[in-house]
């Protein structure tokens, strides 16, 4: 087992990993930028080392600085968390060159699965379907129309160079096909200076369902079942849960086997996630490989809650060469878990990210509630990094009980000083379509406005009464302005 | 309006009661922007208008649109004199790894543009003016 | 289902029950004494009602006051928690008379199982063994000696009127029997004015293992497996866990069936616990019925964590007439959970209970950690009630992982302003006998001193450095003396 | 002694570093009894002796034994003039549902008894005096 692990990340995931190290008796080393000198992830680790100024490119993305820190602190492994360098094959390779174990898959696997084209080829070779589609080499109207007919309606015409939905056209029947091709080509040319079109089968109302896999260095691969992450906005997940209401035991087994097949074909090692688009629900549903994330996911806790497996501990054990201690048959799902992501953002203003001090911040502590966070009251949500404040995970025996538990916990989760999406999450958890589980990846596009509309409202009498009482309390008892002028700068170098 | 009794529980935590219902409430912040949390909702209540609350709105629509936070200007999509419709994205900012569209709050004509692409702007910095 | 439940308790269990109500969409009504007007359990409920002055006899034990409060607030049920009136048959009967459902067993069952003699008779009728023993009607030396021989060595001679270990004599062989009888009789007479002796089989190094049962009003009874609570001191449990390392599947099944048999023989309803003394470990072990607790236990969370069942929710559902939703075969244990009780007491001074303000109180929030508490930072631990501050429950896939997790969490559980047993609990969790699971009910008697000895120690340099830094911080930033003079008394009756 | 750097994290929370090892620490309370928590241990450090800490002991052994907290006197087990041995239970108090034995801190003779059974005593109240 490792003696000392450097955690090449910040925020909640750095705290999460350092706790796993603590439980394993491994020393943890935090790295931090100047903006994070007072961050919880730094204080939580057994050692801490500055790696650069606030901008990620000069700190959390600076491969040399991080490798140097790991060498100076004599770490024998590096955990990359998620985001930042976690899917950077150059970083994984640099760790190996420096004689440090990278807790994740080998660099070549990261590279391979990081290429959408290569990853899809691997999936296809493993017999796992991808969404049917092609960029016809003959880009004439007739050739594109033939390609569309071969794929079958409804189809999506996309600029080959595009992204983010710009210039996409849905074609549902033969009659509108040729006009749509012409229009799509014009728009593609206008937006990207290139009229080449990609033709793809349109999956209507798809769900995002992903499978967690775990592979050791002894050719054993298991999956830890699914997570449904259909509630997303601009490709950012907001709510995740497991099990998915859309899966039946047979479908779950098929998807699990497909994910393991992809991992095996890729030569995968450690924890990873195979993302699928799910078309329909139940035994008759079709699923298509989307991509593979070669790292721990933000939403890993729902899997931990429902399987009883600690994924971070498993990652460390696998990286240290241990065998997976369970066979597929020994793994099971029990109960239901829902994760909601608490973001520093203002739902009333286009989800504008918020930065500022947490004047008051109290996490709800109740049975079945887990909060993974990297902040404490008085901390500052920095403008430099992503606005995730915390993940709240509610677990219970049924989906409905977990949903109610999440609601109760959010109602007891005061975050003051910056706007957050807590009230938005509450409205979402109470939306009839969420209650019934009728989800698809466009849920927030179609329901977001109505959810936001429910947020406005004047302060009720009880809030006004508290505001007044707080006047009195603050007058007699001035609470420290922790984040006003800095009384701390004089505190260095006390001799102990 | 009913009579409310407020009992402090501890630092920043209060119990409010109207005689029948009971709430746990949290409060913090300065008098001119007192933050109160009750039952999953946050209210920012200003001192002058205790009893006359208003949700603080972002940019007051006095013609000038300001940066809401430190951000980089990614694109400026309009020119002075251009007619814009409510909801049009006038400027795209980027901060905290996310794109932040600055939208027209109403139908208007662009009067002046006060930023340029690539510029780092501070909160409150006027980005452009509408007529 | 109920519309509104009055919680006839305070502290962590009142908070726990009000959260279960919130999850079920049932309104909760808190009761409070004058000492608890600012308590968390009061603020957490949907309604709150004062029931009397601080002494329990005038508030939390005042049946009339509580029934009156339930009637005034139009509650249709009462949850008694544990302690206070939870095992008082007059209270259960008074609820029924007032037309209010008592969430627990019927009054006559409470009464029957509250009598040690009646409870043992029920157990014996159900075919469940009790520790062999008798009070010979002939109290001559010869008759007592015959009784001892019949029971078999080692035996315990106890004053029939006694309690708390005073005057007890252990006899291991024939040779010392008669002198011991004479001495025990003398001591019994001196201590209690009555020399009548009770002769009992001595169970050496017994474990305390209890079985959770749950019975609905439709004759269905299940058990939710065991809890081992051998770590206790003066009959107060300190650490509880499940599963017990002493049980094998066969023994677990036998004990579970015995507990269900006792519950069935008693006409039991709702949640209850059958306590056993366990002699030995594994398939060959013997177990003896001790008593039945006719209420929720303090240590119920470990069962919840390992079975995935919410016991408080189940109590409410059963009291509302619902059927148990699972058969025995559907219930299972997964992983391991350890609960440690955090008491306001000073381990360095004979565990003297501590009262005072929680100057700083931050609960550790990490994966697999649950803290059930009834306090927040700034609250006051009152002299009037029991010194339990919180229960910390660590869950993981193995006992060792749960133990390490509990240790890590206690190391991140700052409680300042009053002494607590946190450092004692840490020493206990690291004791080689705890690590190996070699427990018995005299563990703390035999190991307590050595555990305490490890607690002393001067402040290390890092603590001194922090104390100095805090001087600076406090000078520039005076933190409010929340519990100094009362600035709050003026805050009543704001018009909102 | 090594050089310690203390960095505040937030209200009452500090990071301490000796250049190699790192700790998260919590502090609260007045200068004459500053409570510090590090790694599961609590230290109460007085102002006068910063750098010369002592664990605050309960009753200073000046002969008089005092009640540690508000409590009821359940039994008085000794009489004036009686010889007692270290560890003997002299008085039994009850508070917070628990019995609190007041034990002899050393071998001594009871000089005077200042309380009686059933009495409610306040913290610091002298219960009895040893010679």
A-chain residue closest to B49, CA distance? A464
Picking from A46, A379, A493, the nearest residue to D3 by CB comes out as: A493
Picking from A30, A47, A495, the nearest residue to D21 by CB comes out as: A47
Picking from D2, D18, D37, the nearest residue to C414 by CB comes out as: D37
Q: Which residue has the higher pLDDT, C128 or A481?
A: C128
Which of the residue ranges A417-421, A487-491, C111-115 would you say has the lowest mean pLDDT?
A487-491
Query: Rounded to an integer, what distance in angstroms lies between the CA atom of residue C259 and that of residue C256?
Result: 5
Q: Cα angle at B41 between B38 and B42, to 5 degrees?
A: 90
3-class SS letters over A452-465: HHCCCCCCCHHHHH
Chains touching A by CB (3 or more pairs below 8 Å): B, C, D
The active-site residue, picked from A207, A252, A295, A419, is A295
Which of the residue ranges C147-151, C240-244, D59-63, D100-104 would you say has the lowest mean pLDDT?
D59-63
State residue B54's pLDDT score: 43
State residue B69's pLDDT score: 72
The dihedrals phi and psi of C24, each to the nearest 5 degrees, come to -90, 0
Query: Rounded to an integer, what distance in angstroms lies between the CA atom of residue C30 and that of residue C53?
Result: 15
Which of the residue ranges A245-259, A278-292, C426-440, C472-486 would you say has the lowest mean pLDDT?
C472-486
Q: Could you tell me how far CA A255 lies from the centroid of its own chain?
A: 20
CB contact under 8 A, D6 and A379: no
**Residue C238, CB half-sphere, CA atoms under 13 Å: how many?**
29
CB contact under 8 A, C378 and B10: yes
CB contact under 8 A, B25 and A463: yes
CB contact under 8 A, C23 and A496: no
Which of the residue ranges A34-43, C285-294, C387-396, C446-455 would you say has the lowest mean pLDDT?
C446-455
**Bridge partner list, A274:** A211, A292
Gyration radius of chain A's alpha carbons: 24
C198: three-class secondary structure by DSSP: strand
Q: Could you tell me how far CA A350 lies from the centroid of its own chain?
A: 20
Position B49 confidence tier, pLDDT thresholds 50, 70, 90: low
- Going by the DSSP 8-state scheme, the letter that residue A271 receives in this structure is E
CA proximity to C300, closest of C375, C229, C396, C208: C229
pLDDT above 80: residue B68: no
The dihedrals phi and psi of C140, each to the nearest 5 degrees, come to -70, 160
Q: What is the mean pLDDT of residues B50-60?
A: 43
| Mean of all residue pLDDT scores within chain A | 92
pLDDT above 60: residue C482: no
- Do C300 and C315 contact (CB within 8 A), yes or no? no
**Bridge partner list, B100:** B93
Query: Rounded to an integer, what distance in angstroms lies between the CA atom of residue B72 and that of residue C347?
Result: 57
Query: Rounded to an integer, what distance in angstroms lies between the CA atom of residue A375 and that of residue A380?
Result: 8
- Going by the DSSP 8-state scheme, the letter that residue A2 receives in this structure is -
The torsion defined by the Cα of B122, B126, B128 and B131, in degrees rounded to 10, comes to: 160
The dihedrals phi and psi of A173, each to the nearest 5 degrees, come to -150, 160
The dihedrals phi and psi of C409, each to the nearest 5 degrees, come to -65, -40
State residue D98's pLDDT score: 66
- C-beta atoms surrounding B32 within 10 Å: 10
How many residues in chain D? 131
Please classify residue C9 by burial: count the beta carbons closer than 10 Å to its beta carbon, then call 0-12 exposed, 13-18 middle and 19+ buried: buried
State residue D55's pLDDT score: 42
Mutual angle of helices A249-266 and A116-125, in 10-degree steps: 110
Q: What is the mean pLDDT of residues C197-219?
A: 95
pLDDT above 80: residue C474: no
CB contact under 8 A, A416 and B27: yes
pLDDT tens for A296-327 read 999 999 999 999 999 999 999 999 999 999 99
Instruction: Output the pTM of the full model.
Output: 0.86
Question: Taking CB atoms and an 8 Å cutoff, what residues of chain B touch C42?
Answer: 9, 15, 22
Position C157 confidence tier, pLDDT thresholds 50, 70, 90: very high
State residue D72's pLDDT score: 82
CB contact under 8 A, D11 and A38: no
pLDDT tens for A332-344 read 999 999 999 999 9
The full DSSP string for B83-117 is: EE-TT-EEEEEEETTEEEEEE-SSSEEEEEE---T
pLDDT above 50: residue D63: yes
Q: What is the mean pLDDT of residues C286-299?
A: 96
B-chain residue closest to A481, CA distance? B29
Q: Which residue has the higher pLDDT, B53 or C85?
A: C85
Question: Taking CB atoms and an 8 Å cutoff, what residues of chain B touch C493?
Answer: 3-5
Interface of C with B (CB under 8 A): 30, 37-40, 42-48, 376-379, 480, 482, 488, 491-496
Picking from A39, A377, A495, the nearest residue to D11 by CB comes out as: A377
Query: Rounded to an integer, what distance in angstroms lies between the CA atom of residue C251 and that of residue A366?
Result: 33
Query: Rounded to an integer, what distance in angstroms lies between the CA atom of residue A36 and that of residue A51?
Result: 10
Chains touching D by CB (3 or more pairs below 8 Å): A, C
**Residue C232, CB half-sphere, CA atoms under 13 Å: how many?**
17
CB contact under 8 A, C477 and A481: yes
Chains touching B by CB (3 or more pairs below 8 Å): A, C
State residue A165's pLDDT score: 66
- Going by the DSSP 8-state scheme, the letter that residue A489 receives in this structure is G
CA proximity to A353, closest of A387, A388, A389, A390: A387
Query: Rounded to an integer, what distance in angstroms lies between the CA atom of residue C320 and that of residue C16?
Result: 19
Percent of chain A's residues with pLDDT above 90: 82
Position A483 confidence tier, pLDDT thresholds 50, 70, 90: very low
pLDDT tens for B28-44 read 998 888 999 999 999 99
- Do C12 and C388 contact (CB within 8 A), yes or no? yes
Strands D71-76 and D89-95: antiparallel
Picking from C379, C482, C495, the nearest residue to B3 by CB comes out as: C495
CA proximity to C103, closest of C121, C85, C118: C85
State residue C479's pLDDT score: 39
State residue A473's pLDDT score: 65
- Going by the DSSP 8-state scheme, the letter that residue D57 receives in this structure is P
pLDDT above 60: residue C492: no
pLDDT tens for B12-31 read 999 999 988 999 999 999 88
Distance (Å) from the C-alpha of residue C199 to the closest C-alpha of chain D? Answer: 28
According to DSSP H, which parts of A193-321 are helical? 249-266, 300-307, 311-319
CB contact under 8 A, A417 and B101: no
Question: Taking CB atoms and an 8 Å cutoff, what residues of chain D touch C342?
Answer: none
Query: Rounded to an integer, what distance in angstroms lies between the CA atom of residue A225 and that of residue A244?
Result: 10
pLDDT above 70: residue B60: no
CB contact under 8 A, C367 and A310: yes
pLDDT above 80: residue C151: yes
- Do C162 and C193 contact (CB within 8 A), yes or no? no
Query: Rounded to an integer, what distance in angstroms lies between the CA atom of residue C63 and that of residue A358?
Result: 44
Q: Which residue has the higher pLDDT, B70 or A112?
A: A112
Strands C4-7 and B71-76: unpaired
Contacts of D77 (CB under 8 A, 6+ apart): D88, D89, D90, D91, D92
A-chain residue closest to C397, CA distance? A308
Q: Cα angle at C193 between C167 and D90, to 5 degrees?
A: 65
Chain A and chain C share a number of CB contacts under 8 A equal to 115
Q: What is the mean pLDDT of residues C398-416?
A: 98
Query: Rounded to an integer, what distance in angstroms lies between the CA atom of residue C287 and that of residue C280?
Result: 8
Position B64 confidence tier, pLDDT thresholds 50, 70, 90: confident
Position B97 confidence tier, pLDDT thresholds 50, 70, 90: low
Percent of chain A's residues with pLDDT above 70: 94
Strands B120-121 and D3-10: unpaired
pLDDT above 70: residue A164: no
State residue C187's pLDDT score: 86
Please classify residue C127 by burial: count the beta carbons closer than 10 Å to its beta carbon, then call 0-12 exposed, 13-18 middle and 19+ buried: exposed
Question: Taking CB atoms and an 8 Å cutoff, what residues of chain B touch A458?
Answer: 53-55
CA proximity to B129, closest of B32, B60, B62: B62
Please classify residue A231 by burial: count the beta carbons closer than 10 Å to its beta carbon, then call 0-12 exposed, 13-18 middle and 19+ buried: buried
Q: Which residue has the higher pLDDT, C406 or B71?
A: C406
State residue C322's pLDDT score: 98
C3 catalytic residue (yes or no): no
Q: Give the mutation candidate from C337, C367, C374, C478 for the A interface (greatest A CB count, under 10 A).
A: C367
- Report the greatest alpha carbon distance in chain B: 59
Distance (Å) from the C-alpha of residue A28 to the closest C-alpha of chain D? Answer: 10
Position A193 confidence tier, pLDDT thresholds 50, 70, 90: confident
CB contact under 8 A, D43 and C469: no
Q: Give the mutation candidate from C462, C473, C477, C482 for the D interface (greatest D CB count, under 10 A).
A: C462
**Bridge partner list, C215:** C221, C270
State residue D97's pLDDT score: 63
State residue C163's pLDDT score: 62
Picking from B8, B26, B53, the nearest residue to A360 by CB comes out as: B26
Which of the residue ranges A92-96, A462-466, B79-83 would you say has the lowest mean pLDDT?
B79-83
Question: Taking CB atoms and an 8 Å cutoff, what residues of chain C touch B11?
Answer: 377-378, 480, 482
Query: Rounded to an integer, what distance in angstroms lies between the CA atom of residue A70 and that of residue B102?
Result: 42
Contacts of D63 (CB under 8 A, 6+ apart): D111, D129, D130, D131
- Do C339 and C301 contact (CB within 8 A), yes or no? yes
State residue A107's pLDDT score: 98
- Do A411 and A335 contact (CB within 8 A), yes or no? no
Picking from D4, D8, D23, the nearest residue to A38 by CB comes out as: D8
Please classify residue B20 by burial: count the beta carbons closer than 10 Å to its beta carbon, then call 0-12 exposed, 13-18 middle and 19+ buried: exposed
pLDDT tens for A103-143 read 999 999 999 999 988 999 999 999 999 999 888 999 999 99
Q: What is the mean pLDDT of residues C444-473?
A: 87
Q: Whole-angstrom distance between the N-terminal and C-terminal Cα of chain B?
A: 42
Query: Rounded to an integer, what distance in angstroms lies between the CA atom of residue B53 and that of residue B45?
Result: 6
C-chain residue closest to D58, CA distance? C349
A243: three-class secondary structure by DSSP: coil
Q: What is the mean pLDDT of residues A446-453?
A: 90
pLDDT above 50: residue C133: yes
State residue A402's pLDDT score: 98
pLDDT tens for A253-293 read 999 999 999 999 999 999 999 999 999 999 999 999 999 99
State residue A268's pLDDT score: 98
* ipTM score assigned to the predicted complex: 0.86
Question: Taking CB atoms and an 8 Å cutoff, what residues of chain C touch B17?
Answer: 48
Question: Taking CB atoms and an 8 Å cutoff, what residues of chain C touch A486?
Answer: none
Per-residue CA distances from C351 to C342, C451, D11 (Å):
12, 12, 30
pLDDT tens for C264-292 read 999 999 999 999 999 999 999 999 999 99
State residue D53's pLDDT score: 40
Which of the residue ranges A210-219, A267-276, D112-121 would you say has the lowest mean pLDDT?
D112-121
State residue A163's pLDDT score: 62
Question: Taking CB atoms and an 8 Å cutoff, what residues of chain C touch A462?
Answer: 496
B-chain residue closest to A471, CA distance? B31
Q: What is the mean pLDDT of residues C345-364?
A: 92
CB contact under 8 A, D39 and C468: no
B-chain residue closest to A383, CA distance? B96
State residue A484's pLDDT score: 28
The active-site residue, picked from C201, C227, C295, C405, is C295
Which of the residue ranges A438-442, C189-193, C420-424 would you say has the lowest mean pLDDT?
C189-193
A244: three-class secondary structure by DSSP: coil
3-class SS letters over C452-490: HHCCCCCCCHHHHHHHHHHHHHHHHHCCCCCCCCCCCHH
Chain A and chain D share a number of CB contacts under 8 A equal to 64
Q: Which residue has the higher pLDDT, A24 or B57?
A: A24
C-chain residue closest to A332, CA distance? C334
Position B73 confidence tier, pLDDT thresholds 50, 70, 90: confident
Picking from A461, A488, A496, the nearest residue to C461 by CB comes out as: A496
Question: Taking CB atoms and an 8 Å cutoff, what residues of chain D touch C474?
Answer: 31
């Amino acid at each position: 087992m490792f003696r000392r692990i450097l955690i090449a990340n910040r925020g909640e995931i750095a705290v999460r990993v350092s706790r796993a190290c603590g439980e394993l008796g491994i020393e943890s080393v935090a790295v931090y930028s100047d903006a994070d000198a007072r961050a919880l992830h730094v204080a939580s680790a057994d050692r801490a080392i500055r790696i650069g100024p606030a901008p990620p490119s000069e700190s959390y993305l600076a491969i040399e600085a991080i490798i140097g820190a790991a060498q100076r602190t004599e770490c024998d492994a590096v955990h990359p968390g998620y985001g930042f360098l976690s899917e950077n094959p150059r970083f994984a390779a640099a760790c190996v060159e420096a004689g440090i174990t990278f807790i994740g898959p080998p660099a070549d696997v990261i590279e391979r699965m990081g290429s959408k084209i290569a990853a899809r080829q691997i999936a296809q070779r493993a017999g796992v379907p991808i969404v049917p589609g092609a960029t016809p080499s003959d880009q004439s109207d007739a050739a594109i129309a033939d390609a569309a007919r071969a794929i079958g309606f409804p189809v999506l015409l996309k600029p080959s160079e595009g992204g983010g939905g710009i210039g996409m056209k849905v074609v549902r029947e033969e009659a509108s096909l040729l006009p749509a091709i012409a229009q799509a080509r014009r728009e593609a040319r206008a937006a990207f200076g290139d009229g080449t079109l990609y033709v793809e089968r349109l999956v209507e109302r798809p769900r995002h369902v992903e499978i967690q896999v775990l592979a050791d260095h002894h050719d054993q691969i298991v999956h830890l079942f699914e997570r449904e992450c259909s509630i997303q906005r601009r490709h950012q997940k907001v709510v995740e849960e497991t099990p998915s209401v859309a899966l039946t035991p047979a479908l779950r087994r098929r998807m699990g086997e497909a994910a393991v097949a992809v991992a095996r074909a890729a030569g995968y090692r450690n924890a990873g996630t195979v993302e699928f688009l799910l078309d329909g629900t139940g035994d008759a549903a079709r699923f298509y490989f989307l991509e593979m994330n070669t790292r721990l996911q933000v939403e890993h806790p729902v899997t931990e809650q429902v399987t009883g497996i600690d994924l971070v501990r498993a990652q460390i054990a696998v990286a240290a060469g241990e065998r997976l201690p369970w066979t597929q048959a020994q793994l099971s799902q029990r109960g239901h878990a829902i994760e909601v992501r608490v973001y520093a953002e203002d739902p009333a203003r286009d989800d504008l990210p918020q930065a500022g001090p947490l004047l008051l911040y109290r996490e709800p502590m109740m049975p079945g509630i887990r909060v993974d966070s990297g902040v404490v009251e008085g901390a500052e949500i920095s403008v430099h990094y992503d606005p995730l404040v915390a993940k709240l995970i509610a677990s219970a025996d049924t989906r409905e009980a977990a949903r109610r538990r999440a609601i109760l916990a959010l109602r007891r989760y005061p975050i003051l000083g910056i706007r957050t999406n807590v009230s938005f999450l509450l409205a979402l958890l109470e939306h009839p379509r969420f209650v019934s589980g009728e989800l698809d990846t466009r849920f927030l596009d179609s329901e977001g406005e109505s959810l936001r509309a429910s947020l406005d409202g004047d302060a009720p009498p009880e809030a006004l009464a508290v505001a007044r009482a707080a006047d009195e309390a603050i007058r007699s008892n001035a609470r420290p302005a922790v984040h006003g002028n800095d009384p701390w700068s004089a505190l260095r170098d006390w001799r102990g | 309006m009913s009579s409310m009794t407020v009992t402090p529980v501890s630092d920043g935590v209060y119990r409010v009661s109207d005689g029948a219902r009971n709430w746990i409430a949290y409060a913090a912040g300065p008098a001119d922007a007192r933050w109160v949390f009750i039952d999953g909702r946050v209210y920012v209540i200003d001192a002058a208008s205790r009893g006359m609350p208003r949700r603080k709105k972002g940019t007051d629509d006095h013609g000038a649109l300001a940066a809401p936070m430190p951000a980089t200007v990614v694109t400026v999509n309009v020119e002075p004199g251009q007619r814009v419709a409510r909801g049009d994205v006038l400027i795209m900012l980027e901060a905290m790894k996310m794109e932040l569209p600055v939208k027209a709050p109403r139908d208007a004509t662009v009067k002046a543009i006060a930023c340029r692409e690539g510029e780092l702007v501070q909160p409150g910095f006027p980005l452009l003016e509408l007529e």
